[in-house]
């Protein structure tokens, strides 16, 4: 009889402990960060030996979404990909050979250099 009461008490304590953990669980690092759901933005420039390349089409390799460069050759591209991954970003314009650079998780990358078609 005494042994049975001890087992029942231990079982109740364990059940209450599990219940407390489930009820008071705080969101932790296991949940995805909002920026990893939305993707990230990549920033850069497209240039040539003549200077910035205006209206070059810039996209993540293998995707349809693109943006155009401004007068200074700068661009800002929302990738729609998860953060933490290395991405190839390509640029091209009619009359120029396409080229690409790697965009690292920080969103920064080296300039994309285009060469004219002669």
Tokens of 40: 């990230």
Please name the residue that has the structure tokens 């009889």.
1
pLDDT tens figures, 75-112: 999 887 656 677 899 999 999 999 999 988 777 789 99
**What pLDDT score was predicted for residue 21?**
63
* pLDDT tens digits, 1-43: 777 777 777 777 876 666 666 666 555 444 444 444 456 788 9
Q: Answer yes or no: are the C-beta atoms of 40 and 77 closer than 8 Å.
A: no
Q: According to the model, what pLDDT value does residue 36 have?
A: 41
Predicted pLDDT of residue 107: 74
Rounded to whole angstroms, the Cα distance separating 20 from 35 reads 31
- For residues 73 and 96, the answer to whether their CB atoms sit within 8 Å is no
CATH 2.60.40.1120 fits 37-116, yes or no: yes
Enumerate the domain spans of the chain. 37-116
């Amino acid at each position: 009889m005494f042994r049975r009461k001890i087992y029942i008490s231990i079982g109740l304590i364990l059940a209450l402990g599990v219940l407390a953990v489930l009820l008071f669980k705080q969101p932790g690092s296991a949940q995805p960060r909002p920026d990893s759901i939305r993707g990230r933005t990549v920033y850069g420039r497209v240039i040539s030996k003549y200077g910035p390349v205006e209206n070059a089409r810039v996209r993540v390799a293998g995707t349809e979404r693109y943006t155009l460069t401004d007068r200074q050759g700068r661009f800002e591209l929302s990738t729609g990909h998860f953060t933490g991954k290395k991405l190839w970003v390509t640029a091209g314009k009619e009359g120029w050979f396409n080229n690409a650079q790697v965009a690292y998780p920080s969103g920064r990358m080296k300039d994309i250099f285009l060469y004219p078609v002669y």
